[in-house]
Amino acid sequence: MGTLKTTNIQSISGSGTVTLGTSGETFTVPSGVTLANSGTATGFGKIGQVVQTVKTDHASTTSTSYADISGMSVNITPSATSSKILVLANVNTGQTLNYSSAVQLMRDTTALFIGDASSSRTRGSAGGISPKARGSQQRNIHYLDSPSSTSALTYKLQWLVESGSTVYLNRDEGNADAVYSIMCASSITVMEVLA
C-alpha cells in the first residue's frame, strides 16, 4: 500500500468514475478539515455499527414509578455528531388481569419517544392493560434518535406497573408449568446510521 502526502490537491478529474486508492486502504481526514461537496455524494446513510443486548431470563417489578429493567440496556459510541441512532426494542411482558403497565425508552437520563403529557395519565413509549388472565404482551419500540454526540451513550428500557399489580418480563403472570405458558425473550438493538 502506497502513501500520498500533500498539502493541497487542486483538482482531480477524469471521465466516468475516478478512483482514489484500492480496496482495503483508508483515507484519513484530519480534525478541523471541511469537506465541501459541489457534486453528488453517495454512500451515506449506511449502518456504521450494530450493538445488541438480549435477555432470556425473567424479571419483575411492582414499582409504580419508572425503574430500569435489569439487563435491558446497551452502550454505543457514535463515530460522528451527525450520526443518528436507530433503536429497535422488543419487550415481552405479562401482568395481572385488568391492570396496566408501561415501558419507556431512555438515552442516559433522557426519556425518548414518549407520549404527550395529559393530566394524570402515564407517559410512556409503549404500554397497556392486560386483556385476559395469563395474558402476555409484546411491546415493540422503533425510534430514530439524533443524539449529536460522540460520547458513549447508554440506551435502556424502564418500566412501571399500576398499583396493586406486578409486571413480569419474558413470562406471563401465571407462569404455570404447562404448554400454554410461553417463555419469551426480549432485546434492545442500536444501530449507528452514518450521515
CATH at 122: 2.60.120.760
**Residue 23 in domain:** no
**Residue 30 in domain:** no
pLDDT at 117: 93
pLDDT at 136: 74
pLDDT at 85: 98
pLDDT per residue as tens digits for the range 40-61:
555 567 999 999 999 999 999 9
Kindly give the residue spans of alpha helices, DSSP state H, lying in the chain.
none
| Distance separating alpha carbons of residues 108 and 156, to the nearest angstrom | 8
Percent of the chain with pLDDT over 90: 58
Which domain does 88 fall in, by range? 47-193
Is the pLDDT at 76 greater than 80? The verdict is: yes
**Residue 63 in domain:** yes
pLDDT at 138: 86
CB within 8 A of 141, min separation 6: which ones? 87, 88, 89, 90, 91, 103, 105, 113, 125, 126, 157
Burial zone of 42 (CB within 10 Å; 0-12 exposed, 13-18 middle, 19+ buried): exposed
pLDDT per residue as tens digits for the range 15-45:
666 566 666 676 666 666 666 655 555 556 7
**Residue 107 in domain:** yes
> Do residues 104 and 114 lie in contact, with contact meaning Cβ atoms separated by under 8 Å?
yes
Lowest mean pLDDT among 113-122, 168-177, 180-189: 168-177
**Residue 38 in domain:** no
Look up cell 404500554; give the residue. 127
**Residue 71 in domain:** yes
Q: Is 62 left (phi over 0), alpha (psi -120 to 50) or beta?
A: alpha
Identify the bridge partners of residue 53 per DSSP, sorted by sequence position: 188
Q: What are the φ and ψ backbone dihedral angles of 9, each rounded to 5 degrees?
A: -105, 115
Nearest residue to 175 (alpha-carbon basis) of 100, 95, 103, 102:
95
pLDDT at 11: 59
Q: How confident is the model at residue 130 (pLDDT cuts 50, 70, 90)?
A: confident
CB within 8 A of 22, min separation 6: which ones? 1
Number of domains in the chain: 1
| Distance separating alpha carbons of residues 65 and 122, to the nearest angstrom | 10
**Residue 163 in domain:** yes
**Residue 37 in domain:** no
**Running DSSP on this structure, what letter comes out for residue 187?**
E
> Do residues 58 and 171 lie in contact, with contact meaning Cβ atoms separated by under 8 Å?
yes
pTM given for the model: 0.76
| Distance separating alpha carbons of residues 143 and 157, to the nearest angstrom | 13
Is the pLDDT at 13 greater than 90? The verdict is: no
